[in-house]
Amino acid sequence: DWRARGRGHILRYVALKWALCFLVGVLSAAAGFVANLGVENVAGAKFVVTSNLMLAGRYGTAFAVFLVSNFALTMLATVLTVYVAPAAAGSGIPEVKAYLNGVDAPDIFSLKTLVVKIVGCIAAVSSSLHVGKAGPLVHTGACIASILGQGGSSKYHLTCKWLRYFKNDRDRRDLVTCGAGAGIAAAFRAPVGGVLFALEAVSSWWRSALLWRAFFTTAMVAVVLRALIDFCKSDKCGLFGKGGLIMFDVTSDYITYHLVDLPPVITLGVLGGVLGSLHNFFLDKVLRLYNFINEKGQKYKLLLAAVVTICTSCCLFGLPWIASCKPCPSDTEEACPSIGRSGATYGRLVGMLIGSQSTLDHGLFAVLGSAALLGGSMRMTVSVCVVILELTNNLLMLPLVMLVLLISKTVADAFNANIYDLLVKLKGFPYLEGHVEPYMRQLSVSDVVTGPLQAFNGIEKVGHIVHVLRTTGHNGFPVVDEPPFSDSPVLFGLVLRAHLLVLLRKKDFIPNCSASALDASKQFLPHDFAKPGSGKHDRIEEIEFSAEELEMFVDLHPFTNTSPYTVVETMSLAKAHVLFREVGLRHLLVLPKSSKRAPVVGILTRHDFMPEHILGLHPFLFKTRWKKVRFGKSAFTNLVF
C-alpha cells in the first residue's frame, strides 16, 4: 500500500532502504572488527603470559594461568547467556535460517541478545574452546538488521521515528538476509562469499533485487573493514593484526596441477565427505546430550560449560606433549569456521601421507582439506568455494576446490542432512522444507485439515471474538458473510489475530449488528496495524471487557484481507505445499468443491505441513510402504531436488 502514496514517499522509502543496508553493512563490519579485536587482545594476552611462563620453565604456573583464564572466560560467556539472553546460545545460524523461513522464535533478534552475543563470542573464542566467529557474526549481523528494521528497541527507548517505515515482514526479512550476508563478509572479509552464503544457506525466498542489495551491504562491510584495518596498522589496537583475520597464504605464484593429481584430490574429497557427515552425526548426538543436561536447570548448564572448558584446556595444554615437536607450518592459521581448522590439519595430513606421489604442495592440501570438511559438514558448495577463494586470493585452484567440494558434499549427503538442518530440527523450529515429501502426493489438503474451524461473521459479537481468541491459538480467522448480509454464505476474507486485538483494544464497538459503521477504518491510522517489534506482542488476556461491551458488535469488513490465497479441498497436498512455500504464506484457506457446503472448510498453516503432523494423522503412510521408502529417500531427496 505504500504505492498509493506520492512520489516523495516512495523516494524516501527507497532511500531509507538503501540507507538501512548501508548502516547494516557498517555496523556489521564494526561488530566483526570489535569481535576480532576483543578475541585477539584477550586470547593474545593469555597466550603471551602462558608462553612467557613456559619459556621460563614454570610449566605448572603456566598451566594454571591457562586453565584459570579459560575457565573464567567460558564462565563469563555462559553466565551471560544463561541468565541474560538465553536466545544467544549456540551458533545463531539455525535461528536466522528459521526466521527467514517464516518462524518467529521469541527474542532471537533483541538488543539484549545482540550485546550478549558479541561479548559472549569474544569470551568463548578467547577461551580456546573449539568454536568459531562465523556463526555468532551471522547472528550479530541479522540482529543489527532486525533491530534497525524495526526502528530500534522500544524496550530500552532507543527508537528512531524515521526508521519506522519497515513495519512489515518482507522488508524486515530482506534486511535480515542482508545482515546474515554481512556477518559472513565480516567474519572472512569475503564480500561475494557473504552474498552467496545468504543465498545458499540461510534464505528461503530470494529475489534478484535482494542480490543487489545484499551485494551492496557486503561491499560496505569490506570497505569499512579495510578502513579499520588500515587504522590499526599503526599499532593502536593492541595485539590486533598479529594473528587474526589472517588469510591462507599459498605462496606459490602459479599452482600447476595435472591429471596425476586428481586421485589424491578425489580421495581427499571422499574422506572429507565421510568425516564431515561423521562430524554432523556426532555433533547431533553430543548436542542431544547437552540438551538433555541443559533441560535440568540453569545450574546444570553452568556445570556443563565448566566441565567442557576444563577438558578442552587440559587437552590443548596436554596434547602437544605427546606428539613430537615439529616446526609448525605457517599457513595453518586461518579465519575459517572451527571445522575448517580441523579440515586444514586433515588436508595437510593427507597431503603429507601421499605427498610423495603428488606435485601439489602441502599448503594447497591444507586448503583443499578444509574445503572437503566444510563441504561434508555444511554442504554449501558455491559459497564455501567463494569464501575460500576470497581467503586465499588465488583463483587458479578454483577447479580443484570445486571438485573437492562437490565430491565431499555428494558423499556426505548420502549419509545425513547438513549441519544447519540438523540444528534447526534439534531446536524444534517448524521449518518448511523446499521440497515435497513423496507421501504428500497421495494426500489432498482435506486430509490434513483438522479441528473445528473458527470463522467470524462480517459483523461479529465482541463476546464471541474474545471467547475464540482466548480459547484458540490461531493467528488467522476466515470472515464469512452470512444472511441477511448476503443471500448465501460468502467468504469475505481473512482477518488476523493481531488486527483483531488492535480493534478490541480500541473498543470502538457498535451497539447492534444491523447498524453498519461505514467509516470504522478511518479511526485507525495505518501505523496502528503495523507489525510491532519482535519482542512486543499483544495478548488478549491483557484487555478487560465489561459485560455490555461483550454484548456489542464490531464490523470486521474494513479490517479483513479480502484476497487471501485459497485452494480447493481436493487439491493435492504436494501442490498446496508448493504454493505455501513459494509464495511465502502463513495461512491458506481451503474452499469446498461442492457449492452446497460452507464457503470455507478449513485453514492450513505451517504446522499442517510438518511431517510429524501429517504422519500423525495418517500413520498408515508411515507404517506401510513409506517407512522403507522414506528411509531410502532421505539420501535421495537432497540429490534430486
- What part of residues 346-385 is at the interface with a copy of itself (CB under 8 A)? 381-382, 385
Beta bridge partners of 476: 496
Tell me whether residue 76 or residue 223 sits nearer to a copy of itself (CB atom): 223
CB of 220 to a copy of itself, least distance (A): 9
Q: Determine if 234 is a binding residue for a copy of itself (CB under 8 A).
A: no
Q: What angle do helix axes 497-506 and 462-471 make, rounded to 10 degrees?
A: 130
Closest of 327, 329, 324 to residue 348, by C-alpha = 329
Q: Is 570 in the site for a copy of itself (CB under 8 A)?
A: yes
Residue selected from 115, 246, 568, 610 as contacting a copy of itself according to rule CB under 8 A:
568
Least gap, CB of 75 to a copy of itself (angstroms): 39
Instruction: Give the SS3 label for residue 431.
Output: coil
CB 586 within 8 A of CB 597: no
The count of chain residues that interact with a copy of itself, using the rule CB under 8 A, is 80
Smaller CB distance to a copy of itself: residue 172 or 461?
172
Binding flag, residue 631, a copy of itself (CB under 8 A): no
Given the complex with a copy of itself, which of 156 and 212 has the nearer CB atom? 212
Interface with a copy of itself, residue 547, by CB under 8 A: no
- The yes or no reply on residue 638 touching a copy of itself (CB under 8 A) is yes
Q: Is 194 within 8 Å of 219 (Cβ atoms)?
A: no
The nearest distance, CB 396 to a copy of itself, in angstroms, is: 7
Is residue 16 at the binding interface for a copy of itself, with CB under 8 A as the rule?
Answer: no
Q: Buried b vs exposed e over 111-124: b needs ≥16 C-beta within 10 Å?
A: bbbbbbbbbbbbbb
Q: Are strands 490-496 and 476-481 parallel, antiparallel or unpaired?
A: antiparallel
Q: Is 9 in the site for a copy of itself (CB under 8 A)?
A: no
Distance CA 142, CA 112 (A): 14
Does 546 bind a copy of itself (CB under 8 A)? Our answer is: no
Q: Provide long-range contacts, Cβ within 8 A and 24+ apart, for 548-551.
A: 549/462, 549/507, 549/509, 550/461, 550/462, 550/463, 550/466, 551/461, 551/462, 551/463
Q: Which residues contact 32 (CB under 8 A, 6 or more apart)?
A: 133, 137, 140, 183, 186, 187, 221, 225
Burial class from Cβ neighbours inside 10 Å (0-12, 13-18, 19+) for residue 158 reads: exposed
Q: Does 389 help bind a copy of itself (rule: CB under 8 A)?
A: yes
Q: Give the C-alpha separation, 405 to 422, whole Å.
A: 20
Report if residue 398 touches a copy of itself, rule: CB under 8 A: yes
Choosing from 90, 136, 152, 191, the residue that interacts with a copy of itself (CB under 8 A) is: 191
Range 259-318, binding a copy of itself (CB under 8 A): 259
Q: Does 232 bind a copy of itself (CB under 8 A)?
A: no
Q: Is 578 in the site for a copy of itself (CB under 8 A)?
A: yes
For residue 572, what are the β-bridge partners? 444
Q: Does 399 bind a copy of itself (CB under 8 A)?
A: yes
Asked whether position 19 contacts a copy of itself by CB under 8 A, the answer is no
**Does residue number 640 form part of the binding site for a copy of itself (CB under 8 A)?**
yes
Query: Of these, 200, 334, 555, 608, which contacts a copy of itself (CB under 8 A)?
Result: 200
Stretch that binds a copy of itself, among 149-157, 160-168, 336-344, 593-601 (CB under 8 A): 593-601
Among 575, 586, 613, 630, the residue binding a copy of itself under the rule CB under 8 A is 575
Contact region for a copy of itself (CB under 8 A) — 44-52, 72-80, 263-271, 573-581?
573-581
Q: Which backbone phi and psi does 96 adopt, to 5 degrees?
A: -60, -40
Q: Which is nearer to a copy of itself, 545 or 622 (CB)?
A: 622
Other beta carbons less than 10 A from residue 395's beta carbon: 10
Closest alpha carbon to 183 in 42, 35, 43, 402: 35
CB of residue 500 to a copy of itself, shortest distance in Å:
22
Asked if 566 interacts with a copy of itself (CB under 8 A), we say yes
Subset of residues 433 to 462 that bind a copy of itself, contact rule: CB under 8 A: 434-435, 438, 441, 444
Q: 301: closest CA among 78, 629, 31, 84?
A: 78
Interface map 488-527 toward a copy of itself (x if CB under 8 A): x-xx------------------------------------
Residue 12 C-beta-side C-alpha neighbours within 13 Å? 12
596 binds a copy of itself, rule: CB under 8 A = yes
Contacts of 173 (CB under 8 A, 6+ apart): 99, 100, 205
The phi, psi pair for 572, rounded to 5°, reads -65, 140
Question: Is 590 one of the binding residues for a copy of itself (CB under 8 A)?
Answer: no
CB nearer a copy of itself, residue 289 or residue 639: 639
DSSP letter for each residue of 587-607: -EEEE-SSTTS-S--EEE-GG
